Chains A and B, each alone.
Chain A
Amino acid sequence: MAEKKVARFPDPHEYVEKEVPPELEGWEEMYPPHFLFGKEREEWEKKQFWYLDKIHAPEPMPPLDQIFQQAWQISLSQHTTRVFCIPPAQGIAHRMIGCYQYICAIEPPPEEVIKEKAELFGVRAHYPIEHYDELWDEWLGRMQALGREMEGIKVPQELPKYMPAEEVAPNPYRGYSPGYELIEAFDRANDCMYKGWQYHFNYLNLSYLYYLTFGDVARKLFPGISESTIGKMVAGAEVSMFRPEEELCRLAREAHAVPKVAEVLRKEAPAARKIEELRKFDAGQAWLDELEGIREPWLYISCGSGWYYYEGSWVNKLDVPFGYLKGYLERLAKGEKIERSLSKIAEARDKLISEYRKLIKTDEDRSSFDSAYKDCRVIYRYAEDHLFWVEHWFHTIWWDKMREIGRVLVKCGALKEEDDIFMFNRLEVPTVIEDAVTTWALGEGVPMLKWGERAQRRREILQAATKWSPTPALGVPPEEVAEPFTIMLWGVTTDKVAEWLKGMAVVPEEVTEIKGFASSFGVVEGTARVLKSLEDVVNLQEGEIMVCPSSNPAWAPVFTKIKASVTDIGGLTSHAAIVCREYGVPAVTGTGIATSVIKTGDKIRVDGDSGIVTILERA
């Protein structure tokens, strides 16, 4: 590996000035000013450690999609600092550089603040464990009500030339126009999304903290126990995130029992055509009714992580779930198993725990282990369950609402295409809407600003940004990390930072071997498919090796297709690792640099035993 010695990471201010490629010019305008590095906060910014958030923002950030980032910067941080008061932990700050998101776990507060928080934390951390079931029911009710509220927001079909007669006279006039309605629709949807992200973190910080505690316990008793084993011990089998896949499997089985239905679904054709054909006969219609029955909420699942507008959701990209159905039916026809057996997974987990438990040498340790495990199991469900309801179900409703608004803006000439709305951040969209509504209100012959052209320019910047690989980290590495998400999700530890430092000096074209965690066993060779953009999942061919920044549960069905998996990032919750083991597919995770070093078409060897990926032949 080509390496030169690197003492520290680049200074963020110098980096912004010198390293952002000129093709990205104008990127700063896409994000609110407090997301930019700048003179006013220079002294503080230079002292912090900033790293690229490849988990939530592996791709250049479309301006409106940044809403979630904006919302979680506040929500995650406040739940740590002000709500549950995790003693030495503070929040996570964000900055954008050339369309990429950097984040920073802020160093611990002064000693007296830690003491103050410790007292509050003691009570606040314990309560949810003892009342988890009620709290969860309450949480889900709150979240679902908010989703319905958002779904119910009325967006006018258009800004009509004249308000329809029946809305003005002879009927009573309601008092406001469709123009106002459009302004209100965005504001209300915006409020709902922000509030939803308040709920997102209600018990997440604690659930990660309990997980980390149990992880420490397991590591003290069994030094060197793998992260994925700890993950398996804690993972729930019957969590909401797995339901969409289970429902598809169930529907595949039902179709399999009716050859005529199965035959249609197995065809090589778009989903719309298959639906049309199924409508023509009773059994087909009956199956479609079943599909309709699970549509909401279980098809409200993002085709990616839920964080990018272009990913789409199953419910409005039916080709995706129909593609999975086709695969399931083909496997059923061959007599293969398609479902993960939930009881088996639960059994395997219980066996795992009981076998490790047996190895504990003293009764005192066994009792500490049991207690830490019990607490963790109670609340870790939250980490698994909230994901479906927020990032998938709730986000799907939001995307639909935004497109509805985008369509109106296209109709009135403010935008060229509905997705242009995503090219403006959440503080700018109201201005776009206001300009459109103002122009409409003023009467005939009034010009509008050229929002469509701005959107086009921003698309070009984002496109240029996909070709740029920004540095993994900036600034001064900290001496200690107290913030639970930083350790748990991003896996920021001594090793990780050292790995980034090493990676800094690497010339991607010269690398032939990269190292990560041996996450799932076996050695295979094959062709790489780099899924840098989540949309690329569609291109994945049977038997290829998936190389991606990090994978997520919505991709579950691809694991039956691939030969192996390699990821840049695999923190404690490494989904790729867990799923690969379930499907017996070799995996190397947390390589840090796989997606920048490996190119689609490269012949690579994935050694899941030793955690080494070798590039055998460049494409």
Chain B
Amino acid sequence: MIPTKWIYRFDELGKEHNDIVGKKCASLGEMTRAGFQVPPGFALALEAYDRFMKETGAIEEVRQYLTTFSADPNNPADMSKYEEASEVIRGIVESKEMPQDMEDVIRQYYDGLCQMTGISDIPVATRSAGPASHPGQYETYLYVRGGSEVMENIIKVWSSTFNQRSIIARARLGLPLEYDPVGVAVLKMVNARAAGVMFTLNPVTGDPSKIVIDGNWGLGESVVSGSVTPDEWMVDKVILEITKVIVSPKLKEYVLDTKTGRTMFVDIPPDRQNAPCLSREEILELAKIGKKIEDHYGIAQDTEWAIDNDLPFPENVFMLQCRPEQVWSQRKKEPLLGKKSGYELLMEKALTPTKVKL
């Protein structure tokens, strides 16, 4: 039997690998392959989770423990039971060492990343990548440095499939509690000066000719979570010109504490609060990338991006994620002009005065 491949470089992946490595990894792979600038890295397939859980005996221990566990996920009084179960199970998983053969391979990939970027012990993020969409359910660890930390944090990501929220979610859906394989993306940390989201249509009106970029200083979390009012730019997709600019007062940003790897929500100094977090050339570069991404996938996209503080433009513009836009793309396409000819439209126009409202 040929052993199943359980680790991939991003450029070996594409969207067809969704169920093998998880959506986020497949998407990063697809973007890398299509030539978009995503942080370099590699992906651990669901298979790696499976091997780890089985070869270390973790899955047996978890099953053993669960034979004694009983709780109702719809009963609020039982929530503490799930909390306890989560603690126990995560304890079991995190007490296991990475099997030696796996560790050797992962270290090879990590060293490869260090060589490629020319940075020894390069800081990476370890992100979970579920095969189905469970956004935000599992955990992500930032600023992980060196082989041992990488091993430790990959295991932590796996173990996060047993966080309380996830166990309850599985219990509610009637899924097995002891097993929920996820992929892990290990990618270079972007030292984000500014970050945010970009839609390749106007999410408010559905106008397909617009790209809308929201951004704040620091990591993208503040924009994604909606905890600040970001700067907003609208760019015309065809002529690639900025058609609307809203520079908001930005009071707080997420920055990384490199010692703990944790993010901190800190005050933005006054001189940066009212300054736009992107330059004109960065905005236009993002829009160009957005346009290409949409062309590549053939459908409007909802993306995350970051601007790296250490690299020169345009190498500093990174795409972190993209997924199909959900709202407008799902709607039934109705003609907006009522199936009229140019002549009928003229008659309509000529008969309708323009309202002036004050």
Instruction: Name A residues whose Cβ lies closer than 8 Å to a Cβ of B.
Output: 86-89, 108, 114, 118, 121-122, 125-126, 209-210, 212-214, 216-217, 220-226, 229, 232, 352, 355-356, 359-362, 364-365, 367-376, 477-482, 487, 492-494, 497-498, 501, 518, 521-523, 609-610
Contact = CB atoms under 8 A, between A and B. Distances in A.
From DSSP, what is the main secondary structure of chain A's interface residues? helix
B78 to A, nearest CB: 48
Given A87-B350, A359-B238, A220 B358 contact: no
A374 B342 contact: yes
16 contacts: A209-B350, A217-B345, A223-B205, A224-B202, A355-B237, A356-B238, A359-B209, A359-B238, A362-B333, A364-B335, A368-B340, A368-B342, A480-B355, A481-B356, A497-B358, A610-B245
Interface string B223-252: 000000000001011110111110100000
Interface residues of B, number: 43
A480 B340 contact: no
B345 A368 contact: yes
B347 interface: yes
Contact of A222 (B207, B280, B337): B207
Contacts of B337: 217, 220-221, 364-365, 368-369
Contacts of A492: 356
B354 interface: yes
Given A362-B333, A368-B339, A498-B358, 13 more contacts: A122-B347, A125-B346, A217-B337, A223-B207, A224-B202, A224-B205, A226-B241, A229-B239, A365-B336, A477-B358, A478-B356, A480-B356, A493-B354
Given A229-B239, A477-B356, A609-B245, A371 B349 contact: no
A494 B343 contact: no
Contacts of A369: 337
A400 B207 CA distance: 53
A126 B347 CA distance: 10
A146 to B, nearest CB: 30
Contacts of B339: 364, 367-368
Given A223-B205, A229-B239, A368-B345, A87 B336 contact: no
Contacts of B346: 125, 209-210, 213, 372, 375
Given A88-B353, A609-B242, A371 B341 contact: yes
B342 A493 contact: no
B357 A125 contact: no
A33 B41 CA distance: 82
Interface of B: 202, 205, 207-210, 234, 236-239, 241-245, 247, 280, 333-343, 345-358
A481 B345 contact: no
B209 A497 contact: no
B356 to A, nearest CB: 5
List 9 A-B pairs, minimum CB-CB distance, nearest first. A371-B342, A482-B353, A364-B335, A480-B353, A372-B342, A222-B209, A368-B337, A213-B349, A375-B342
B209 A225 contact: yes
Nearest to B245: A610
A221 B205 CA distance: 10
Nearest to A232: B239
Contacts of A493: 354, 356
Contacts of B356: 477-481, 492-494, 497
A376 B335 CA distance: 21
Contacts of A108: 353
A356 B209 contact: yes
Contact of B234 (A89, A224, A361): A224
Contacts of B347: 118, 121-122, 125
A229 B236 contact: yes
A87 B345 contact: no
Contacts of B244: 224
A494 B208 contact: no
A118 B358 contact: no
B336 A220 contact: yes
B343 A371 contact: yes
Contacts of A114: 351
A121 B341 CA distance: 17
Nearest to A355: B238
B208 A361 contact: yes
Contacts of A494: 355-358
A487 B345 contact: no
A355 B291 CA distance: 12
Nearest to B237: A359
A359 B342 contact: no
Contacts of B202: 223-224
A479 B337 CA distance: 25
B244 to A, nearest CB: 7
B209 A487 contact: no
B287 to A, nearest CB: 12
A207 to B, nearest CB: 11
A224 B210 contact: yes
Contacts of A225: 209, 236
A494 B355 CA distance: 7
B343 A375 contact: yes
A224 B207 contact: yes
A108 B351 CA distance: 11
Nearest to B239: A229
B50 to A, nearest CB: 43
A248 B348 CA distance: 44
Given A359-B209, A481-B356, A209 B349 contact: yes
A216 to B, nearest CB: 6
B354 A88 contact: no
A47 to B, nearest CB: 15
B345 to A, nearest CB: 5
Nearest to B349: A213
B286 to A, nearest CB: 14
A365 B342 CA distance: 11
Given A210-B346, A213-B345, A226 B236 contact: yes
A213 B342 contact: yes
